[in-house]
Chains A and B, each alone.
Chain A
Amino acid sequence: MIPEIGHLALIIALCLALVQATIPMIGAARGNAVWCAAARPLALGQLTFVVLAFWCLTHAFVTNDFSVLYVADHSNSQLPLQYRIAGVWGGHEGSLLLWVTMLCGWTAAVALFSRNLPQEMAARVLAVMGLISVGFLSFMLFTSDPFDRLIPGAVEGQDLNPLLQDPGLVIHPPMLYMGYVGFSVAFAFAIAALISGRLDATWARWSRPWTVAAWSVLTCGIALGSWWSYYELGWGGWWFWDPVENASFMPWLVGTALIHSLAVTEKRGGFKNWTVLLAIFAFSLSLLGTFLVRSGVLTSVHAFATDPRRGIFILVFLAVVIGSSLTLYAWRAPKVGLGGRFSLLSRESLLLTNNVLLVAAAGSVLLGTLYPLLLDALKLGKISVGPPYFNSVFIPLMVPAVFLMGVGPYARWKKAELPDLAKRLKWALVSGIVAAAVLPFLMGTWKPLVALGMLLAVWVVVAGGMGLVARLKATPGGFFGLPRSYLGMQIAHAGVAVAIVGITMVTTYQEERDVRMGVGETAEVGGYTFRFDGVHGVQGPNYQSSMGDVTVLKDGLAQRVLHPEKRVYTVQTNPMTEAAIQSNGIRDLYVSLGEPLGGGAWSVRIYFKPFVSWIWGGAAIMALGGLTTLADPRYRLVLGRRFRPRPVRRKGAEEPAR
C-alpha cells in the first residue's frame, strides 16, 4: 500500500511541477500577479509530495518490503538499519528520487527566501526549476520507477553492495547531490534574467549566495567521495579521474569560475554575458554528469546499472534543456549592456583570467572524459584516457590560477599598478621560494613537485595573510568588522593552499610495502614498525570477518593496534577488504590485508601516507570559506528582509523610521 502511495505522490508532484513550470512563466510575461504568486505554493506543494514519496521508499526499505523490486535488489533483512536507510539512494532509481528531493528542497528554499525579489523574477526562477523537476519526475515515472512491484515478492533481498555498506554512503551522495542540484538555482536565475532582460548587478547579487551555497556543499560532497574511496577501496588512492568523479568535478570547476565571475558582475556590472553563460554551463555539466553516470556510455566503477532507454531519455532531456538555454542565450545575451570599463591589469581582468584557466581546466577534463567515445564514434579506434593524461594537463593549468589567487585580492578594481603590486607581494614571493627550497628537506629528499606545492601554498597563505593584516589595521571593529565575504575568500583560499600541501606531499613521499607476514614478523614503513600478530574470526551483523591484529611500534614502543579486515558478506559473497587507518593529522598509517598464504601468514599491504588528510581538510576549509561568505549581511537581502530604498531626506526633516 505504502509504495503505491509513494508512486501516487510522485504523479501528483509531476502534475504540480507541470503547473509550476508553466503558469508562473506565463504570469510573468503577462504581468499577472496572481499567476506569478502561484509559484510559491506550487513549489512547497511539490516538495511535500516528493518528500512523501521519499518517506514511502524509506519505509519500504526499513520494513524490508521485498515486494518492491528496488528494495529486493538493494537490501536485505540482515542489513543494519543505517544502511537500509542509506540504501534508498544506493541504486539508480532511488538516487534519482534523492536528486528530485534535493531539487524540490532548493526550489522551496528559493520560494521561501525570495520575498524581496521582484515578483516576475521569482516567478520565472521557480518556473525554470519546475521545468527541471518535470524532466526528472517524468524520467522516474516512465523509465526508473523506484516503486515498481516484484510479483511475487522476494523472500529475501539481494543485499546492498558491500562496498556501499559504509558510513560514506550515508553522507556522500546526499551532500554531492545537494551541491550538484544547487547549481540549478544559478541556472534558473540566469534563464530568468535572460528572459526578462534584467541582467544587472542586482541579479548577480541575488544569484551569488545560492551559487556559493551550492558550491560549498559540492566541495564537501566531492571531498567526502574522495575520502570514502581512500579508506574503502583498500589501495589508498583518493582520485582516479574516473568519469563519474569527473562528472562531479567539472561542475565544481565551472562553479568556482562562476563565483568569481559573479563577483565581477556584482561589483562592477561587467561581463554579464559571460557570467550568465557560466551559470548555464555549470548546471549543464551537472545534467551531463547525470547522463554519463546512468547511460552506460562510459565505463566506471561508480556507474549505475544501465538501460539504453534511460540513456536516450536523459540525453533528450539534456538536449532540450541546455539546447534551449543556449539558444535563449544566443538570442538575448547580445542585447545586454557591456558594463563598467577596466584596464588590462585590474582585479576584473585577473578574475577573468582565473575564469579562463578554470574553464579551460573543466574543458580539458571534459575532453579527456569524452575523447575515447569521440574516437570510437568516428571509428578511429579505441583508446583509454586515464590519470596520466589528466594529471599532465590539469596541473599546468592550475599552477597559474593558484598563483593569481595570491595577486587578485591585492589588485584594485578598474586599474591596478604593477609596481605597487610587486612591492606588496614581494615578501610573499620570497617566503614561497624559501619554503620551496627548504621545506621538502624536512621530509627527506628534495623533490620538484613538493617544492612547487610549497611555493604555491606559502605564496597564497602569506599573500593572503598580509592582505588580511593590512585590512584589519584599516578596519575599525577589528576582526568582526571585516566583511564576511572578504573573510570567506581568505578562508577558502587558505583551504586551497592546505589541499595543495596535502596533494603534493602524499604524492611524493608516500611509502608502500607489500609483505608476506607470518605471526610475529615485522615490517618497516615510513619510520614505523608494523608487527603482525595474527588473524582471528569475527562475526558481524551480516558478514563474517577475518580480523587482523597489527601492532604499530615507533622506536620500539608499541603505540596502537590496527585491525584490518577481510570480510565475506552473507549474501554477495565477494570478499571485501576493510583497511585499518590511523591518522594523526599529519600522516596516515594504512594497513590492508591481502590473502592468507598458509601457515598463519598473510600478505599485507602497508602504506605510510604523509599529509593525506590535509587534502580533505583543505576542502573542508574551502567549504567553510564559502559558508562564511554566505553570512555576509549584504546577502541577507536574500533572506527575506524587505529591501526598501532609503527615502531622500529633506532639509530639516526628522530622520524617518527605517
Chain B
Amino acid sequence: MKARGLVPLIVFAVMVGFLFVGLKLDPREVPSPLIDKPAPAFSLPRLDAPDAKLSPADLRGQVWLFNVWASWCVSCRQEHPLLVEFSRTHEVPIYGLNYKDDVGAATDWLTRWGNPYTASVVDADGRVGIDYGVYGVPETYLIDKQGTIRYKQIGPLTPAVIETKILPMVRELNG
C-alpha cells in the first residue's frame, strides 16, 4: 500500500529532472539533419563575377567553411570581424552564401567591412538556403574533402566555437 503512494512522487521527480535539464536547452534551436550527409548541390553565380558559376563539386578535395550571410543581417555584422581575422590565418578557405540580398548592397558591405571569402555566391531567392536548411542568418557549415557536411553553426561564430569546434575538426579532416 505504501509503495503505491510513492508513484506520484517518483513520476514527479523524474519530470522535475527533465525540466532542470530543459533549462539549459534552447527550444528554438533547429539542429541540422544534414550533418554527415552530402552538401546539397547548387550552381550559383559568384558575387564578384556574375557570369562565373560555383558549385560544391568544384571544391572537392579540400575542407572548407560555408558561411551564410547578408548585408541586411545585424548578427552577421557581429561575427564578421571574427571571420575576417580567421580568414587571414588561412587555416581553411571560407566561402560565402549571400542569402536573399541585393548584389550592390552586398558588394558594398564587403568593401566596407572586409572580405573574408575566397568567393561568395549569390542566392537571390533563398532556394539554396532552403536546401541547406537555413532558417536564420548567419549560419556556417563545415564541409569536408568528400563534400560531406560535418558541422553546422547556428547563429554567429564566436572565438570559443572556432577554437573548440571548428579548428580541431578542420585539422582532423585535413589529416
Chain A positions near chain B (C-beta within 8 angstroms): 273, 277, 280-281, 284, 291, 295-299, 308, 311-312, 315, 318-319, 322-323, 326-327, 329-331, 333-334, 370, 372-374, 376-377, 381-382
Contact = CB atoms under 8 A, between A and B. Distances in A.
B42 interface: no
Contacts of A318: 16
Given A323-B12, A326-B12, A330-B5, A315 B18 contact: no
B49 interface: no
Interface string B20-56: 1111110111110000000000000000000000000
Contact of B9 (A281, A323, A376): A323
A333 B18 CA distance: 27
B7 to A, nearest CB: 8
Nearest to B8: A326
B114 to A, nearest CB: 32
A269 B57 CA distance: 77
A327 B15 CA distance: 15
A583 B5 CA distance: 51
Contact of A334 (B5, B8, B24, B31): B5
B13 interface: yes
A322 B23 contact: no
Nearest to B17: A377
Contact of B27 (A280, A297, A326): A297
B5 A297 contact: no
30 contacts: A273-B5, A277-B8, A281-B8, A284-B12, A291-B19, A295-B22, A296-B23, A296-B27, A297-B22, A297-B27, A315-B16, A315-B19, A318-B16, A322-B12, A323-B9, A323-B16, A326-B12, A327-B9, A329-B8, A330-B2, A331-B5, A333-B5, A334-B1, A372-B27, A373-B22, A376-B25, A376-B27, A377-B18, A377-B25, A382-B30
Contact of B23 (A281, A312, A323): A312
Contacts of A333: 5
Contacts of B28: 299
The residue in A329, A370, A373 that gathers the most chain B C-beta atoms within 10 A of its C-beta is A373
Output the residue of B2, B5, B6, B25 with the most chain A CB within 10 A. Answer: B5
Contacts of A297: 19, 22-23, 25, 27
Given A322-B12, A330-B6, A377-B18, A308 B23 contact: yes
Contacts of A326: 8-9, 12
Given A373-B27, A374-B18, A382-B31, 9 more contacts: A273-B5, A280-B8, A308-B24, A311-B23, A330-B6, A331-B5, A334-B5, A373-B19, A381-B31
Contacts of A273: 5
A298 B25 CA distance: 10
A620 B69 CA distance: 52
Interface residues of B, number: 23
Main secondary structure of the interface of B (DSSP, over half): helix
Q: Which of B16, B19, B21 has the most CB of A within 10 A?
A: B19
Interface of B: 1-2, 5-6, 8-9, 12-13, 15-16, 18-25, 27-31
Nearest to B23: A311
A273 B2 CA distance: 12
Given A372-B27, A376-B27, A315 B20 contact: yes
B27 to A, nearest CB: 5
A646 to B, nearest CB: 38
A197 to B, nearest CB: 15
Contacts of B29: 382
A277 B8 CA distance: 9
A326 B8 CA distance: 7
Contacts of A327: 9
Contacts of A382: 29-31
Contacts of B31: 381-382
Contacts of A280: 8
A240 to B, nearest CB: 16
B21 A295 contact: no
Max count, chain B CB within 10 A of own CB: residue among A298, A326, A333: A326
A312 B22 CA distance: 10
B18 A373 contact: yes
A365 to B, nearest CB: 14
Nearest to B19: A315
A291 B15 CA distance: 13
A329 B5 contact: yes
Contacts of A329: 5, 8-9
Contacts of A284: 12
Nearest to A372: B27
Contact of A323 (B2, B13, B24): B13
A118 B28 CA distance: 52
A296 B27 CA distance: 8
Contacts of A315: 16, 19-20, 23
A322 B15 CA distance: 12
